[in-house]
Structure 1
Amino acid sequence: MTTLPSRRPARLTARLDAGRRALLFVLAGNMLIDALEVSVVLLALPAMERDLGLSTFGGQWVMSGFAAGFAALLLIGPRLVARWGRRRVYLAALPVFIAASVVGGLTDHSAVLIATRVVKGMCAALTAPTGLAIISTAFRPGAEQRRAVTVYSLFGATGFTVGLLCSGALTELSWRWNPVFPAPVALLLLAAGFRLIPRDAAPTPAAPLRATLARLRRNGPFLRSAVCAAALNGTYLGLLMLLVHRLHELWGWGSWRTALAFLPACLPLALALPFAGRMVGRFGTERLIRAGSCAAALGCVSALLTGTPTTYAGGVLPALLLVEAGFVLSFAALNLQATAGIAPEHRGSAVPVYQTAVQLGAALALPATAAAASFDAGRGGALAFLTALSATGALVACTTRTRGVRAAP
């Protein structure tokens, strides 16, 4: 008598695959709201400043506060995860994020609003690296893990674009909706996370921070990538913040019209990210980092030479396209180059240092840009600063030679 093969293993495998896909979307969804947080307040800055009596320099803290909080907690995040476990830290950060979002939308005090942004940045510093760590253990190394990281990154790029459009639409109603908008999404992720995020098998000791920094100081490709990524991120957000005020003050553009005008500065990355691996495989990280850094610098130069823009097509769009081209070309290449020469057992401690550098680029560039704009009514000083910042990134990219990395097939 022939025994029919059991279908239970196949069904079990199907359930496991479905469970991992659901887990990936929960973790990637959190990356989406982290990126959304950066852009959701961008177009609301003029309205916030008007209602709360803030100057341009005071209003920029609403943006840079998030980056500062993110950078401040990234380096000690691994220690908290080692002590309490990935699941606990991840699930504890989301309720704090939700509460801060609600308080930020209700407050009438600028200091409280800025404080909530710092707190939300700290929560993001715990959830983003923890999500990547969970992916590294829940998905098999190789093609499966690379696909998971691609989806995770894609959600981040999409989140910035979604946040920009939502910022434009919500500000037309009231800017108070903008800080609250991520809260319902985070609540859904929290409910799903309780069910899907696996429990930690055993605590993993965190690498000593001093030893990690000492090791990375001797790693040229890592330092180069960190400097270039910090310059690119600071240039990008500083330019967008400057243009928000320019379009509002010079042409009287509302938030929704400005959101549509900014689409060329964020949509291409979301569309190109699925093909980033092919680009790195064909051209290598070295060429892409140089091309991206130079494109961002050219974008700032074009804005500086144009001066006060008279048309969108001739005075604003070229800078947006060139700076975004910098991200399209070098975003994945910088991430790969930063970790390529680091032993696998040390990458978990190196990634937060790299991410800290990226966030510090925004945390330092935004106040400097706003200060320069406040002292110079023509905004030439602010554009000169951003040009110098982007040129520094391009100079580091073009004068420092490292061994290029190509993506594995």
Structure 2
Amino acid sequence: MTTLSSHPGPPAPASDGRRHRALLAVLAGNMLIDALEVSVLLVALPAIGDDLGRSPWQTQWVMSGFALGFAAMLVLGPRLTARWGRRKVYLAALIVLLGASVAGGLADNGGLLVLVRVVKGMCAALTAPTGLAIISATFREGADQRRAVSTYSLFGAAGFTIGLLSSGALTGLSWRWDLVLPAPVALLLLVAGWRLVPDDRGRLREGAGARVPLAALLGNGRLVRGAVCAATLNGTYLGLLLLVTYQLHREHGWDSWATAVGFLPACVPLAVSLPFAGRMIGRFGTDRLIVTGAVTSGLGCTAYALRGAPDSYVLGILPTLLLMEAGFVLSFAALNMSAVSGVPDAQRARAVRLYQTAVQLGAVLVLPAVAVLIGPTEGGGGYRAAALLLMAVGGIGALAALTGARSRPSPRPGR
């Protein structure tokens, strides 16, 4: 999950079209890789655990390790960008990502594999916010910039789906190909980015945002509530997919490809609906969408927890996946837009980093807990306990959303 605007900048000159579209393609392609990295190992986790002799708790760190690296680098990233410039940081992160992808495919033990994933998460924390910063500095504020950000976000949603399907197909050959998959794409983007990403040395002033006291941000109720809602949404979503992956593998005998196809209802609707997110926000306002999304995803977790072990995909698992995805469709863009609305310009850069860190920490905290409850062997009790945990986390998000909606009117974007 990436915010719609991360670094305010001066209005960009009018685009001559071709070069800016090519630059956007590079940046959006990198967002596709970042989203793919989140999903590409999801349905491969049982195969990785079986091959390396690791429990679900040990294996899930290839996913939560990525989120942990992302969250950690968000703190240091702005300092690197301020010192070296967006171009150098962006290209260097792509180079490291390329090398880490190859190293991950060659890893022969779980510890090294997790380390590789942490490094890749750190790279994503540099490329995603930096890509948005380059967009804000290159495209004029208004319609041009909104279209660019919409394209950027759309590639991210599509990347999650591509990662699932690729993992489903490649895991049958070897789960190691899932780790190598981003490498050729990163190489292509590196070559194109070397030509297209502008040099901005001497024009960055991001250090000012880093000096904003953390207490000033934590005192902003709307920002904190938005961070809590986004963290719980991301945590319950990925936690549910982790739970269902192991349940389908252990109790229903599904292979990686069948699981990936079964998860399509949990990711495709977001990619389809993103082009219309602005219209939804304009019509209903952010708070109403955030509340509806939080309640909908919470209902999905509740239905799964109360129903017990599903004996049918269509009647037991599919409704929960659809409810969770509906929550994402309704609240994804609204959360991104609402979180930093009303934040003074001097605080906005650090506010976005706080928000993005919370999103990643949602996965870091929930995924290990779900894996512990699942346990190393089959057992309906463990799945039920994990589902109850997700229901509780979703309830926290719904409560935070309802509290925020009552505290102040919902902002609507200007027209």
State the TM-score, normalizing by the size of structure 2. 0.93
Q: How well do the aligned residues superpose, as a CA RMSD in angstroms?
A: 1.5
| Amino acid in the other structure paired with 1:339 | V
Pairwise CA distance, 1:381: 0.9
The answer as to whether partners of 1:278 and 1:407 remain within 8 angstroms in 2 is no
The corresponding residue for 1:388 is: 392
Map 1:152-167 → 2, pairs under 5 A = 152-167=152-167
The more displaced of 206-215 and 355-364 is: 206-215
Aligned sequence identity (%): 61
The answer as to whether partners of 1:71 and 1:360 remain within 8 angstroms in 2 is yes
Pairwise CA distance, 1:208: 5.6
Give distance in 2, aligned partners of 1:405 and 1:26. 32
The corresponding residue for 1:343 is: 344
Give distance in 2, aligned partners of 1:27 and 1:402. 36
State the TM-score, normalizing by the size of structure 1. 0.95
SS of the equivalent of 2:340 reads helix
The answer as to whether partners of 2:85 and 2:201 remain within 8 angstroms in 1 is no
The corresponding residue for 2:311 is: 310
Map 1:51-90 → 2, pairs under 5 A = 51-90=51-90
The corresponding residue for 1:10 is: none
Pairwise CA distance, 1:380: 1.0
The corresponding residue for 2:194 is: 194
Map 1:204-353 → 2, pairs under 5 A = 204-207=205-208, 209=210, 211-353=212-354
Post-superposition Cα deviations, 1:160-182, rounded to whole Å, max 9, x if no partner, equal 01101111011111111001001
Post-superposition Cα deviations, 1:45-90, rounded to whole Å, max 9, x if no partner, equal 0000000000011110011000000001102211110011100100
**Paired positions, count:** 397
The corresponding residue for 2:8 is: none
| Amino acid in the other structure paired with 1:390 | G
Pairwise CA distance, 1:405: 1.7
The answer as to whether partners of 2:231 and 2:360 remain within 8 angstroms in 1 is yes
The answer as to whether partners of 1:78 and 1:349 remain within 8 angstroms in 2 is no
The more displaced of 213-222 and 141-150 is: 213-222
The corresponding residue for 2:412 is: 406
Post-superposition Cα deviations, 1:86-120, rounded to whole Å, max 9, x if no partner, equal 00100111111111111111111110011000000
Moved over 6 A (4+): none
Q: 1:330/1:241 Cα in 2 relative to 1: closer, same or farther (>3 Å)?
A: same
Pairwise CA distance, 1:201: 4.7
Give distance in 2, aligned partners of 1:206 and 1:27. 23
Q: 1:212/1:125 Cα in 2 relative to 1: closer, same or farther (>3 Å)?
A: farther
Map 1:349-388 → 2, pairs under 5 A = 349-374=350-375, 377-378=379-380, 379-388=383-392
Larger radius of gyration: 1
Pairwise CA distance, 1:213: 1.8
The corresponding residue for 1:103 is: 103
Pairwise CA distance, 1:124: 0.4
Pairwise CA distance, 1:371: 1.1
Which consecutive residues of structure 2, in runs of 5 or more, have no partner in the other structure? 1-12
The answer as to whether partners of 1:35 and 1:156 remain within 8 angstroms in 2 is yes
Pairwise CA distance, 1:315: 0.8
The more displaced of 118-127 and 344-353 is: 344-353
